[in-house]
Amino acid sequence: MTLTGKTALVTGGSRGIGQAVARRLAADGARVVLTYHSSKDAAEALAAEIGATAVRCDQADLTTLPAILDPVRDGLDILVNNAAITFSRPIADLTRDDFDRLLTVNTKFPLFTIQAAIPLLRDGGRIINLSSLNTAVPAPGLTLYCASKAALEQVTKVAARELGPRAITVNTVSPGATDTDMLRGANPPEALARTTALTALGRLGTPADIAAVVAFLAGPDAAWITGQNVRAGGGLLL
C-alpha cells in the first residue's frame, strides 16, 4: 500500500487504461477521484467497487473543469491526465472544428487541469500525462491526434522545470498498442496482428500493463524521475 494517505485524480477513469489506473492506484492505497464523460453507470460501478468518487466531465468544455477538482480541494497528490479522443482522417479532409475539438480535449483541457491543480498539489506530488507511441511512429490519418499528444509531451517537460522546486515530478507515459475498445475500434484485426508481430514481447499490451507504469511513477521510488517520456510498448519501438 505504497500510496496510503495519498489522493489521486484520474481523468477518463471509467474504462480502458483510465479504469485500470484507477483500480491500481486504489489498490496501492490512494483515495481516487475519477472522471467520466458518458459512461456514467460504468464509472459509478467502478467507484463503488474501489471506494472512489466519480465526477462527470466534458473535456471539450472547460467550464466543467472546476467540478472535477471539487472533491480534492483539501489536497491532491497525484494527477493523471488520461482522458483523450481520436479519429482517423486524412489531412485533406480535416476541418477547423476537428482541430478545435481534438486539441481541446487532448491538450488544452489537460494543460488547464494542471494549472488549476497546482495550488492543490502537495509538495512532492506527481503529475502523469498519457501520450502515445504515435508521436514517435506517426500513422496516416492521425495528424491531429499525434499533434495533440506531442504538444502534451512538451507541456510535461516545461511543467517539470516549473514545479521541480516543489519536488513535484511531471512525466509522460506513452503506451504502445494496448488492448482497449479504442484500439480495436480504430484498427482492423489484421493491423493488430501485424503490430503484435512487430512487438518484442509478442503481444498487445493490457491496460494493467500501463497502469503498473503509472503506479510506479506515482509512487515514492520514482521521486528522482521527472520530465521523462516512458514509452511502455512492450518493445514495439526500440
Alpha carbons 224 and 238: distance in angstroms, whole number: 24
Q: Which CATH class is domain 7-229?
A: alpha beta
Alpha carbons 120 and 125: distance in angstroms, whole number: 10
**Location of C-alpha cell 509478442:** 202
The residues, ordered by sequence, that sit 6+ positions from 55 with a Cβ below 8 Å of its Cβ are: 33, 34, 35, 36, 67, 68, 70, 71
> Is residue 145 among the annotated active site residues?
yes
152-180 core/surface letters (b: 16 or more CB in 10 A; e: else):
bbebbbebbeebeeeebbbbbbbbbbbbb
Alpha carbons 108 and 105: distance in angstroms, whole number: 6
pLDDT, one tens digit for every residue, the chain (238 residues): 899 999 999 999 999 999 999 999 999 999 999 999 999 999 999 999 999 999 999 999 999 999 999 999 999 999 999 999 999 999 999 999 999 999 999 999 999 999 999 999 999 999 999 999 999 999 999 999 999 999 999 999 999 999 999 999 999 999 999 998 878 777 788 989 999 999 999 999 999 999 999 999 999 999 999 999 999 999 999 9
Q: What number of other Cβ atoms are within 10 A of residue 181's Cβ?
A: 9
The residues, ordered by sequence, that sit 6+ positions from 66 with a Cβ below 8 Å of its Cβ are: 116
Residue in 69, 145, 171, 218 annotated catalytic: 145
Alpha carbons 125 and 122: distance in angstroms, whole number: 5
